[in-house]
Structure 1
């Protein structure tokens, strides 16, 4: 069934249904076991493998490079659909798609060509940016040191989302002089240890745990020549979270509608002989679905802003036009954060009002929608997004250019 026929609205392009049709059978397979995996803590190694085999991980590459030439709105709409199947899988691939974007925007032709070839061949990348510990905001304890002619990584990362499933870790670090270093560290290199010790109550299957680096030797070609990230990186990574939330909302809406349609028990003071015919219950289902629809529409609107930022960068990297497009992409995504978050948290709580006590049974897994949404919404606190948007609206202040945590 097309997205339009399902009532979620048309995709972002005329070819979207053909593009999405290639992946929907895989999405369906992933969704079929999502509840069981959540209950048993089975990590989605196989599921991510299926997406890799289907060339989902090469979406943004040109067809001649082994990709699909997907626009950013097409990518984000597909991430919404993947999140309907399992939001853990989307989050596990977030760093990979961000790294791909970084490659496409790189100022180094050699780095760009090398990594387009690697990604086109199916290689994937996980996250190695965030740290816990005493490092100050904007700094890292992870260090890339010189050891004779070699460069060696020492340190520890947390929130290494997706790295346990990937071929490389996208590492942010410093050198001995405190200068930034960005590298792609092979996950199977001697001295690399990745541990699935993320113990959050949601998004439990993303392997967002610890990665340790002990004397890891880096080949020169794995160190990025320019450590700067792509201009619209902050907006991009935040919008992946919002697309994931929108997909959770769609899945919750579809599940509650199906369960209401199947329900045979009624309340003695209900409005119909069947729950499916009760107008109050139907209204609850409608609110959940409306929230999910609105969340998806907001995400795709913001994705248009990212596409404009990408196009402006391609037309003239570093130009005033590219800078302004990046600022506006940040603004649009920031002002979407609280709206989308509230819509999906309300939907994933309210769905239980349409069902009886049996809806909380573990086998249905309906609680995972709220748990996953609440966990994603706790990243990059939304209270700051509101303040940033307000400052832009009142004073014209540009959004900050980095999201970092650390000691004050």
Structure 2
């Protein structure tokens, strides 16, 4: 047993207010430019650089390695605050925090230490997993091939969220020699990678979720990671990022509707008060929005707790306990997805019932809250998650921990 195996500090949590205080001034700067970025579709290169320089990408790294030592729920509480400032930014960092979580779950040793140092130094990791077009479900067209003492990566991915801002890309690929599925962690700044900002969704417009092409991109041998070793609560973790994003969207919508009502001077002759802020019906609408957002945030944070237990169980030496924790992480994130998506879509629509026709003008960009919420809610279809939860509750059927998307068989 080596020293690296003996010394394995875990990130079990820190004082949240102290941790959040480091980043709240940056969140405020990000919020100040959110509407302008939305209207001009300007990608958040500067905001992500501010976060990198402040060590945001290392908040889950153990303090013994220079990171923040945050627990999983504390990470998602931070992401909710960040999403309130600009919901595009936490989604752009989704791949980074998932890859960082995978390294946190990796066996202790020099290879893991290298990644911890990179995260602390400010390196950010994007992701590129999904292949679109004429690809059958289960097929992996992107290949990584041995080339001397290194590897060459070839393929094309869409939904490569955050990769435009990243130093590395976490690429799901298949080995050409063995057919095994792997993660290729590839350096972004090289001639063999072509990135396109061609995401054209009506929401979450500035997440950098476009196409990445890999043409003989170079990958170091130590950065070819067997996919079978990927952390087991990964699907739940990815979903938790989206839940935090939704909760933050709700907080932003509540903030904006309260401000608009507070400052509104025009009233209706058939209203209930001389000032909109004193109108009982308007107050009720805002109060209901506040309740919806409260429930969504509380649900998202509660759903993050099993993922922390799964992380700690990874090194606990009890395989049955670890498996149960992974199942709980998946089921609870799925239940939360079904509820939180509905709560925030309702909240971001209801806000217009407290306002007037002038508040749908593009200059206020209040519609972005619903568009962003609807877009985030369209990831990982919640109808399937509801069925999985129902199957678990009724029959005890364990949830899938990894799933794929692609073309089905041709209809006869």
TM-score by length of 1: 0.94
Matched, 1:42 2:42: yes
> How far apart, in 1, do the equivalents of 2:288 and 2:315 lie?
41
How far residue 149 of structure 1 moved from its aligned partner, in angstroms, is 4.7
Matched, 1:263 2:264: yes
Counting matched residue pairs gives 396
- Partner in structure 2 of residue 206 of structure 1: 207
Partner SS for 1:205: coil
> How far apart, in 1, do the equivalents of 2:380 and 2:333 lie?
12
> Aligned ranges for residues 117-132 of structure 1 at < 5 Å?
117-132=117-132
Task: Report if aligned partners of 2:91, 2:161 keep a CA contact under 8 Å in 1.
Answer: yes
Partner SS for 1:183: strand
- Partner in structure 2 of residue 393 of structure 1: 393
Hey, which bits of structure 1, 4+ residues long, moved more than 4 A?
Answer: none
How far residue 185 of structure 1 moved from its aligned partner, in angstroms, is 0.7
Matched, 1:187 2:188: yes
Encode CA deviations 1:324-380: one digit per residue, 9 max, x unaligned: 110011111111111000000000000000001111111111010011000010000
Going from structure 1 to structure 2, the CA distance change for 1:80 and 1:339 (only over 3 Å counts) comes to same
Task: Report if aligned partners of 2:96, 2:125 keep a CA contact under 8 Å in 1.
Answer: yes
RMSD of Structure 2 on Structure 1 (CA): 1.5
Encode CA deviations 1:100-125: one digit per residue, 9 max, x unaligned: 00001013623211211111111110
How far residue 161 of structure 1 moved from its aligned partner, in angstroms, is 0.3
Task: Report if aligned partners of 1:150, 1:218 keep a CA contact under 8 Å in 2.
Answer: yes
- Partner in structure 2 of residue 282 of structure 1: 283
How far residue 145 of structure 1 moved from its aligned partner, in angstroms, is 1.6
Task: Report if aligned partners of 2:149, 2:221 keep a CA contact under 8 Å in 1.
Answer: no
- Partner in structure 1 of residue 6 of structure 2: none
Give the stretch that moved more between structures: 81-90 or 188-197: 188-197
Task: Report if aligned partners of 1:284, 1:350 keep a CA contact under 8 Å in 2.
Answer: yes
> How far apart, in 1, do the equivalents of 2:94 and 2:154 lie?
24
> How far apart, in 2, do the equivalents of 1:128 and 1:207 lie?
11
Task: Report if aligned partners of 2:13, 2:69 keep a CA contact under 8 Å in 1.
Answer: no
- Partner in structure 2 of residue 135 of structure 1: 135
Task: Report if aligned partners of 1:327, 1:399 keep a CA contact under 8 Å in 2.
Answer: yes
TM-score by length of 2: 0.93
How far residue 86 of structure 1 moved from its aligned partner, in angstroms, is 0.4
> How far apart, in 1, do the equivalents of 2:79 and 2:218 lie?
35
Give the stretch that moved more between structures: 56-65 or 101-110: 101-110
Task: Report if aligned partners of 2:14, 2:70 keep a CA contact under 8 Å in 1.
Answer: no
Matched, 1:362 2:379: no
Task: Report if aligned partners of 2:140, 2:174 keep a CA contact under 8 Å in 1.
Answer: yes
> How far apart, in 2, do the equivalents of 1:225 and 1:386 lie?
30
> How far apart, in 1, do the equivalents of 2:40 and 2:285 lie?
31
How far residue 54 of structure 1 moved from its aligned partner, in angstroms, is 1.1
Encode CA deviations 1:30-88: one digit per residue, 9 max, x unaligned: 00110000000110000001111111111001223221100111101000000000010
Going from structure 1 to structure 2, the CA distance change for 1:188 and 1:114 (only over 3 Å counts) comes to same
Task: Report if aligned partners of 1:72, 1:303 keep a CA contact under 8 Å in 2.
Answer: yes
> How far apart, in 2, do the equivalents of 1:118 and 1:149 lie?
22
- Partner in structure 2 of residue 54 of structure 1: 54
> How far apart, in 2, do the equivalents of 1:115 and 1:337 lie?
31
Task: Report if aligned partners of 1:66, 1:121 keep a CA contact under 8 Å in 2.
Answer: no
> Aligned ranges for residues 185-334 of structure 1 at < 5 Å?
185-224=186-225, 227-316=228-317, 319-334=319-334
> How far apart, in 1, do the equivalents of 2:314 and 2:89 lie?
29
> How far apart, in 2, do the equivalents of 1:115 and 1:184 lie?
11
> How far apart, in 2, do the equivalents of 1:316 and 1:14 lie?
24
> How far apart, in 2, do the equivalents of 1:149 and 1:61 lie?
30
> How far apart, in 2, do the equivalents of 1:200 and 1:222 lie?
32
> How far apart, in 2, do the equivalents of 1:380 and 1:83 lie?
19
